[in-house]
């Protein structure tokens, strides 16, 4: 089974990525940053870490204010560098661990955390600044990642106590994963800083050192602090260090301090930390009980005849065709779908098999493959096909046969405007 080897704490200031990209390893003003990450890299290599569970916050890059969630778990196999305004960094994509991420997602939801999930989104400096420092002259760090984006920039945000509880649930999730993996939990952000308002440039190194000491020896004191207290002590943006409590909550009570360093060259006190987990092996019976707990809600659903639960695995495997059909909500995409399908489908990278499914209106085959019904509903609306016609096709019936099984033989669609009027007339 997977094992949590330890926890890592690291600032994620863009300063870090800038220093690496401009080759400042030997510049005295920048060298302490590299020294701190050298210690992390050495520990990761020594402990043969396979997967890093990466806790970070996006800086209004891939996650905008129109949909801003508290906890968003990455369930992708690849995470590219985001363009934050001046072009993306020239760094290799991080490789995601699909199996572990999907397992963690199921586990956290089973433990009553209301998670969101993301695929196909690039990651900004919150993720890349520290991770890119784990590579060496041979190239990027060779392991895999599972990212957790935490919404800490738009209030209200989850409390420090909620972060701690999520960490405890994360431990159960990782230890119940059956594959033999060495996992490190990496929390990013902080330490003290504020980047907005008249308080911009605020630092509190005394608080930073106290925070790191408490995180190691008495984390319960940090758990009971309010967001306002974190902001007062460490700056409003510095309150993001509550994310470090997810990491600490995922570790056992017994930890060994391997490395600790802070350096405050500009507007952020840049920290690196390694805590090795000294907890014993998880109880086998508890692990098995948790696995049963995870599967409880869906047990038996997969065996219902004619039923295809839309899981993370199905979603990831069919993201391309689902995304293509979802784009039918845009008028320009709809127009080209009708008038220039072949070119449009090729531009979006659809395979010939995917094109054939759409060309042939192979409704049930698309469902069986892993296309979610609610994009098929959009496709049908564009084509002037009513929902009951799609249901009939699923069942291998004519529309007349299907309507004969309903109390009222009505046809309808999610289409609007002229299309819905035309469909109503045809009914």
Query: Cα(219)–Cα(120) distance, rounded to whole angstroms?
Result: 35
Dihedrals phi, psi of 350, to nearest 5 degrees: -65, 140
Beta strands (DSSP E) in 41-177 are 51-56, 71-74, 78-79, 94-96, 116-118, 144-150
Q: Show the tokens assigned to 425.
A: 């007339």
| Other Cβ atoms closer than 10 A to 4 | 22
> Which of 97, 125, 290, 312 is flagged as catalytic?
125
Query: Cα(60)–Cα(124) distance, rounded to whole angstroms?
Result: 9
| 212 to 15, 206, 373, 401: CA distances (angstroms) | 21, 10, 49, 69
- Residue 339 DSSP SS3: helix
67 is catalytic: no
DSSP 180-241: --EEEEEEE--SS---SSTTTT---HHHHHHHHHHHHH-HHHHHT--HHHHHHHH-TGGGGG
Q: Are 148 and 55 in contact (CB under 8 A)?
A: yes
> Which of 12, 193, 290, 312 is flagged as catalytic?
193
Task: Select from 229, 234, 235 the least CA-distant residue to 200.
Answer: 235
User: Going by C-beta distance under 8 Å and a sequence separation of 6 or more, which residues neighbour residue 29?
Assistant: 265
Q: Show the tokens assigned to 422.
A: 């035309």
348 is catalytic: no
Letter string b/e over residues 347-359, b meaning 16 or more CB atoms within 10 A of that residue's CB: eeebeeebbebbe
Q: Are 75 and 144 in contact (CB under 8 A)?
A: no
Catalytically active residues are 125, 193
């Amino acid at each position: 089974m997977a094992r949590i080897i330890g926890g890592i704490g690291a600032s994620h200031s863009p300063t870090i990525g800038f220093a690496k990209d401009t080759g400042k390893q030997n510049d005295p003003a920048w060298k302490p940053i590299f020294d701190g990450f050298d210690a992390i890299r050495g520990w990761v290599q020594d402990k043969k870490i396979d997967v890093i569970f990466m806790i970070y916050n996006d800086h209004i890059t891939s996650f905008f204010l129109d949909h801003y969630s508290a906890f968003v778990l990455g369930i992708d196999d690849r995470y590219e560098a985001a363009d934050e305004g001046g072009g993306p960094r020239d760094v290799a994509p991080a490789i995601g661990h699909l199996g572990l991420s999907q397992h963690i997602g199921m586990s956290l939801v089973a433990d009553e955390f209301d998670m969101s999930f993301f695929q196909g989104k690039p990651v900004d400096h919150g993720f890349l600044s520290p991770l890119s420092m784990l590579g060496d002259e041979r190239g990027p760090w060779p392991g895999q990642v599972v990212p957790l984006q935490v919404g800490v920039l738009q209030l209200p945000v989850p409390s420090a106590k909620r972060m701690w509880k999520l960490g405890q649930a994360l431990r159960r999730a990782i230890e119940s994963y059956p594959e033999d993996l060495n996992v490190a939990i990496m929390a990013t952000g902080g330490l003290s800083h504020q980047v907005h308002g008249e308080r911009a440039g605020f630092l509190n190194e005394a608080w930073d050192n106290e925070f790191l000491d408490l995180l190691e020896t008495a984390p319960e004191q940090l758990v009971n602090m309010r967001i306002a207290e974190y902001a007062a002590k460490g700056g409003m943006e510095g309150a993001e260090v509550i994310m470090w409590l997810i990491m600490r909550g995922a570790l056992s009570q017994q930890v060994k301090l391997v490395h600790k360093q802070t350096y405050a060259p500009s507007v952020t006190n840049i920290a690196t930390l390694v805590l090795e987990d000294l907890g014993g092996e998880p109880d086998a019976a508890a692990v098995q009980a948790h696995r049963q707990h995870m599967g409880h809600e869906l047990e038996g659903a997969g065996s219902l005849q004619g039923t295809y639960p839309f899981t993370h695995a199905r979603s990831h495997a069919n993201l391309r065709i689902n995304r293509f059909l979802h784009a039918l909500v845009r008028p320009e995409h709809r127009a080209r779908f009708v008038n220039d399908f072949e070119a449009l489908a090729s531009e979006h990278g659809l395979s010939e098999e995917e094109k054939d499914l759409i060309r042939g209106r192979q409704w049930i085959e698309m469902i069986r493959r892993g296309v979610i019904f609610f994009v098929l509903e959009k496709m049908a609306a564009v084509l002037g096909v009513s929902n009951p016609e799609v249901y009939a096709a699923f069942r291998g019936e004519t529309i007349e046969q299907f309507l004969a099984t309903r109390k009222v033989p009505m046809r309808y669609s999610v289409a609007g405007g002229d299309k819905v009027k035309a469909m109503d007339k045809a009914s």
